[in-house]
A and B are shown apart, each in its own frame.
Chain A
């Protein structure tokens, strides 16, 4: 049973550029959430996708957008990158309709903005 996978592992960008991160959920999961984890901090919720729509959103600007595909995989896009966007970006999957509120995390994508 494959767990949550993310790509790429590491990414280096410069200010003003755009980036796309990818996530495949755990088998059987239909809900994908994205988190930003700054160095020394806990993960902060960005948004959650279910049935190809954004279901919930945290306190992040519109520069952060996402997409979910029919196979439940997801992308996180960040436009006009700032130095402060440097962080570990975590994807988590779940299946709340099965009555479980446990989220399973991928290994993350380390984004460095120079």
Chain B
């Protein structure tokens, strides 16, 4: 079945550092890929998405590129802020019509001043 693998956390960075959170997936067909963010005590918010190979999703300085050849969708940000501290979830949704996302286990990001 479909699955998503994320790098283990927590990822601890200083403010203004470069961020990469790795995500790889296994799926049949051509899934859509998502990054969701969950701030402490809150639900999930859609951060960005990409629906086909080579698409780049971007939002709030975060970017991720859909790489079909490496089945990856790594999240990057050039300069993180303390307010970016949260848990980040990579997810995929198959293109067969069910639209039920499969989530990774999440990666906690802690940014220090």
A residues sitting closer than 8 Å to B (CB atoms) are 4, 6, 31, 33, 40-45, 48, 56, 58, 88, 90, 92, 94, 96, 101-108
The listed residue (A4, A33, A101, A107) touching B42 by CB distance below 8 A is A107
- Measured in the bound complex, the distance between the Cα atoms of B100 and A58 in whole Å is 10
Q: Is there an interface contact between B106 and A105, defined as CB atoms closer than 8 Å?
A: no
20 more CB-based (< 8 A) A-B contacts, given A31-B99, A90-B43, A105-B43: A33-B100, A40-B106, A42-B103, A44-B103, A56-B98, A56-B100, A94-B99, A101-B93, A101-B99, A102-B34, A102-B46, A102-B49, A103-B93, A103-B99, A103-B101, A105-B36, A105-B44, A107-B43, A108-B42, A108-B43
- Measured in the bound complex, the distance between the Cα atoms of B101 and A96 in whole Å is 13
Known: A41-B105, A42-B105. A104 touches B46 (CB 8 A): yes
Smallest Cβ-Cβ distance to B101: which chain A residue: A103
Smallest Cβ-Cβ distance to B106: which chain A residue: A42
For residue A60, give the distance in angstroms from its CB to the closest CB of chain B. 13
Can you sample 13 A-B contacts with CB below 8 Å?
A40-B105, A42-B91, A42-B106, A43-B44, A43-B103, A45-B101, A56-B98, A88-B43, A101-B99, A103-B99, A104-B46, A107-B43, A108-B43
